[in-house]
Amino acid sequence: MIEIRGDLLKSIPKATLAKTMTTITLELPQNIYEPLQKAAAKAGQSPQELITKLLGQTIQAFADDPLEEFIGAFQSDIPDWGANHDRYLGQELLENHNV
């Protein structure tokens, strides 16, 4: 088991940060935890720090997605649309819009 603290912004003063921290407990299978430990050690961080950093980056990537407001708005017969939408949109532009 690993505990994570919601420390996403290193620039926040520690006194303020202590008030804004939230503890989350995760149960991770060994096949995830062992590579996490190795990656954290390589980065000079604890597993908790690395997970917090990775979660922050993932959350920011979703927040920065210009198409997020359209997620779930359309039905499609393409089963991998969610994973490959950029490729499909690019193909459409190249094939039909002289880009």
Same domain, 19 and 52: yes
pLDDT of residue 8: 45
* pLDDT for 18: 56
pTM score, two decimals? 0.51
Q: Residue 91 sits in which domain range? A: 72-99
Q: CB-hemisphere CA count at 13 Å for 3?
A: 4
**Cα angle, residue 50 at apex, residues 47 and 54 outer, rounded to 5°:** 135
pLDDT in tens, the chain (99 residues): 444 444 444 545 555 555 677 888 889 999 999 999 999 999 999 999 999 999 888 888 777 777 777 777 878 888 888 788 888 888 888 988 876
**59 lies in the same domain as 79:** no
Into how many domains does the chain fold?
A: 2
Considering the domain architecture, whether residues 84 and 60 belong to the same structural domain is answered as no
pLDDT for 13 equals 55
